[in-house]
Amino acid sequence: RDVDRTAALINMYHIVLIQVMVEQGMHISKMSHKQRDTVLQRAGFNLGLVFLSLDDIVHGIFRANVRRGPWYYKTQQINARSDTFKDSLIPKEASPLALLVLSHMNKFDPKVDIYDGSEEGMSRMRATAGEFLDKTVRVNRDSGYLILPAVFKEYQKEFGSNGMETGVFVEGLCNPKKKGEVSRFMAANGRAGGSLPIAYESHFSEFVWSTEQSRLVAGWKEADKKRFQDIDVERAADAGSPRHKAD
């Protein structure tokens, strides 16, 4: 089922990303553009006969095969069987909910959780996206704009064909208080043709730990940190960047 596949790919994405960040010793939002692009294109895992990078998951699958530079499967396919399998991974529609859950370029991240395709698992996924939007969405009454996190700017088409559709998507995930603010803004500022005045936050170069995350990492021994940073990974020969494998 699509929901099972979505949950599994989100889980694998998080596993690989966390390992990369531990190795690099920094949150991905603090990496340089070059370093970040290299990580996203080369870190990944084997799924059957296909190597999926983190970039492949976002742009190839959750954005329904939107091109981002070269064809998103950058490794040579082994045989026709893998080509068929590759094509079967591409959905007909994008998954905006998954894009929100994997949005890790913000001052505050969506929390990392383990999901499955059950009703409970999908409810937790929606709750995670809702908590993220509650922290990052705001109405700026002075400027008259609905402020959204940068992921909405990057993937505008995936979140709606116009501003009002995007607003409805955001409204449907927020908690009651924030939902009310967004609803009132849409009612007062929606324009003909579905347009809505929206502005976007910039990417943050300085990630801020939440209170819960701070408690988890407080007192982390240097020996433990070194042990995790010494995780043995295969290095790509041409770039020296981590390429993780999980069959």
Per-residue model confidence (pLDDT) at position 234: 39
Measured N-to-C along each axis, helices 119-136 and 163-173 cross at an angle, to the nearest 10 degrees, of 110
Mean pLDDT of 57-84: 54
* Cα–Cα distance, 64 to 162 (Å, whole number): 19
Q: Are 57 and 13 in contact (CB under 8 A)?
A: yes
Per-residue model confidence (pLDDT) at position 76: 37
pLDDT at 188 over 50: yes
Q: Are 137 and 78 in contact (CB under 8 A)?
A: no
Cα 52 to Cα 33, 58, 124, 221: the distances in Å are 21, 10, 25, 33
Eight-state DSSP code of residue 115: -
The residue that leads in pLDDT, 35 or 239, is: 35
Half-sphere exposure of 213 (CA within 13 A, CB side): 10
User: In this structure, what token pair is assigned to residue 58?
Assistant: 């976002």
The predicted-structure confidence for 205-231, as pLDDT tens digits, reads as follows 455 555 555 555 555 555 555 554 444
Half-sphere exposure of 34 (CA within 13 A, CB side): 1
- Please, which residues have CB within 8 angstroms of residue 192's CB and are 6 or more apart in sequence? none
Per-residue model confidence (pLDDT) at position 166: 94
Task: State the chain's mean pLDDT as an integer.
Answer: 76
Name, of 8-12, 32-36, 43-47, 242-246, the range with top average pLDDT. Answer: 8-12
Short-list 174, 182, 195, CA closest to 130: 174
User: In this structure, what token pair is assigned to residue 177?
Assistant: 């208080």
Per-residue model confidence (pLDDT) at position 182: 94
Short-list 189, 142, 139, 196, CA closest to 165: 196
Q: What is the three-class DSSP state of 158?
A: helix
The predicted-structure confidence for 154-174, as pLDDT tens digits, reads as follows 888 889 889 999 999 999 999
Q: 199 φ, ψ to 5°?
A: -125, 160
Strand partners, 198: 146
Q: Are 138 and 147 in contact (CB under 8 A)?
A: yes
Q: Are 245 and 234 in contact (CB under 8 A)?
A: yes
* Cα–Cα distance, 246 to 118 (Å, whole number): 23
Per-residue model confidence (pLDDT) at position 171: 94
* Cα–Cα distance, 125 to 101 (Å, whole number): 7
